[in-house]
Amino acid sequence: MAFINKSDLNKFKKKAGDLFNKTIDQHVNLAVTGLSRSGKTAFISSFVNQLITEGGNSQLDFFNPVHQRRFIAAKRVSQKHLHIGRFEYEKSVAAFEKSPPTWPEPTHGISELRLAIRYQPQDSLLKYATDSATLFVDITDYPGEWLLDLPLLNQTYEQWSKQTLALLEQAPRFEHAKQFIEKVNQIDPLVSADENMLASLAQEYTELLMYFRHQLGLSVIQPGRFILPGELVDAPILQFIPFTNFNCIDGNSYQNAGDGTFIGMLRARFIEYKERVVKKFYKEHFLHFDRQIVLADCLTPLNNGAECFDDLQLAINLIMESFSYGQSSLFSRIFSPKIDKLLFAATKADHVTPEQHSNMVSLLNQLAYQTKHKLNYDQIEMKTLAISSVKATLSGKGKHQGQEIPVIQGRQLHDNKLITLFPGAVPKRLPTKEYWDKNGFNYINFSPIESIEAHQSLPHLRMDQVLQFLLGDKLK
Ligand code: GDP
Q: What is the DSSP string of 97-162?
A: HSSS--PPPPP-S-EEEEEEEEE--SSSTHHHH-S-EEEEEEEEE--GGGGGGGGGGG--HHHHHH
Q: Are 109 and 230 in contact (CB under 8 A)?
A: yes
Q: What is the mean pLDDT of residues 54-72?
A: 85
**For residues 7 and 50, which has the higher predicted lDDT (pLDDT)?**
50
| pLDDT for the residue numbered 329 | 62
Nearest atom in ligand 1 to 445's CA:
16
Residue 191: Cβ within 10 Å count: 12
Instruction: Pick the residue whose CA is nearest to atom 17 on ligand 1.
Output: 39
376, with CB counted inside 10 A (0-12, 13-18, 19+), is: exposed
Largest CA distance in the chain: 94
**What per-residue confidence (pLDDT) applies to 1?**
39
Question: Mean pLDDT: which of 163-167, 288-292, 375-379 is highest?
Answer: 163-167
Please say if the pLDDT value at position 439 is more than 60.
yes
Q: What mean pLDDT is predicted for residues 221-244? A: 92
Peptide bond into 172 cis (omega under 30): yes
Q: Report the C-alpha gap between 309 and 329 in whole angstroms.
A: 26
Ligand 1, atom 27, residue with closest C-alpha = 348
Q: Which atom of ligand 1 is nearest to the CA of 103?
A: 14
- Residue 242 pLDDT class (50, 70, 90 cuts): very high
Strand partners, 343: 293, 383
Q: Which residue has the higher pLDDT, 323 or 139?
A: 139
In the predicted structure, residue 4 carries a pLDDT above the cut 50: no
- Residue 446 CA: nearest ligand 1 atom is 26
Residue 2: pLDDT above 50?
A: no
- Find the 446 Cα to ligand 1 centroid distance in Å: 10
Worst-scoring range by mean pLDDT, 175-184, 216-225, 443-452?
A: 443-452
Question: What average pLDDT is seen over the chain?
Answer: 88
Q: How far apart are CA 95 and CA 105, in angstroms?
A: 9
At residue 8's C-alpha, the angle toward residues 6 and 11, to 5°, is 110
Length of the chain: 476
Q: Point out the ligand 1 atom lying closest to the alpha carbon of residue 35.
A: 3
Q: Compute, in angstroms, the gap from residue 168 CA to the centroid of ligand 1.
A: 28
Q: How far is the CA of 38 from the centre of ligand 1 (A)?
A: 6
CA 393 to ligand 1: nearest atom: 26
Confidence (pLDDT) at 72: 92
Q: Assess contact for 147 and 322: CB atoms under 8 A.
A: yes
Rounded to an integer, the average pLDDT of 413-430 is 90
In this structure, what are the phi and psi dihedrals at residue 291, rounded to the nearest 5 degrees?
-140, 150
* Other beta carbons within 10 Å of 235: 13
475 Cα: distance to centroid of ligand 1 (angstroms): 29
Q: What pLDDT shows up at residue 6?
A: 54
Ligand 1 centroid–CA 105 distance in Å is 10
Please report the atom of ligand 1 found closest to the CA of residue 38.
3
Residues 175-179 have a mean pLDDT of 97
**Cα-to-centroid distance, 296 and ligand 1 (Å):** 11
Please tell me the predicted confidence (pLDDT) of residue 380. 81
- The predicted pLDDT at position 23 comes to 46
pLDDT of residue 406: 93
Quote the ligand 1 centre to 87 CA distance (angstroms). 16
For 7-22, the pLDDT digits (tens) are 555 555 555 545 445 4
Least confident of 66-70, 185-189, 365-369, 427-431: 365-369
375: CA distance to ligand 1 center in Å?
A: 28
Express each pLDDT in 345-393 by its tens digit: 999 999 999 999 999 999 999 888 665 556 544 668 889 999 999 999 9
pLDDT greater at residue 446 or residue 107: 446
Which atom of ligand 1 is nearest the CA belonging to 351? 26
> For residue 327, is pLDDT > 60?
no
Of all protein residues, the one whose alpha carbon is nearest to atom 25 of ligand 1 is 348
What is the rounded average pLDDT of the residues 428-432?
89
pLDDT of residue 351: 95
Angle among Cα 108, 331, 243 to the nearest 5 degrees reads: 65
Q: Pairing between strand 381-386 and 341-346? A: parallel
**Is the pLDDT assigned to residue 332 strictly greater than 70?**
no
pLDDT at 190: 95
Mean predicted confidence (pLDDT) in 284-303: 92
462 Cα to the center of ligand 1, angstroms: 16
In this predicted model, what pLDDT tens digit does every residue of 76-129 receive, in sequence order? 998 888 888 899 999 999 999 999 999 999 988 899 999 999 999 887 666 666
Ligand 1 centroid–CA 386 distance in Å is 14
Residue of 47, 91, 103 with the most ligand 1 atoms within 8 Å of its CB, for mutation: 103
Q: How much distance in Å is there from the Cα of 41 to the middle of ligand 1?
A: 7
Q: Are strands 418-421 and 85-86 parallel, antiparallel or unpaired?
A: unpaired
Residue bearing the bigger pLDDT, 71 or 328: 71
Using a 6 Å CB cutoff, which residues line ligand 1?
34, 36-42, 103, 106-107, 347-348, 350-351, 388-390, 392, 445-446
What's the CA-to-centroid distance between 135 and ligand 1, angstroms? 28
**What span, in angstroms and rounded, lies between the C-alpha atoms of 275 and 152?**
10
3-class secondary-structure state, position 79:
coil
pLDDT at residue 437, rounded to an integer? 85
Closest residue by Cα to atom 2, ligand 1, is 37
pLDDT band for position 424 (50/70/90)?
Answer: confident
Name residue 471's amino acid: L
Ligand 1 probe mutation, 348, 395, 413, most atoms within 8 A of CB: 348
In testing the pocket of ligand 1, which one of 33, 41, 139 has its CB within 8 Å of the most ligand atoms?
Answer: 41
Q: What angle do CA 85, 95, 388 make, to 5 degrees?
A: 90
Q: Whose CA is nearest to atom 19 of ligand 1?
A: 39
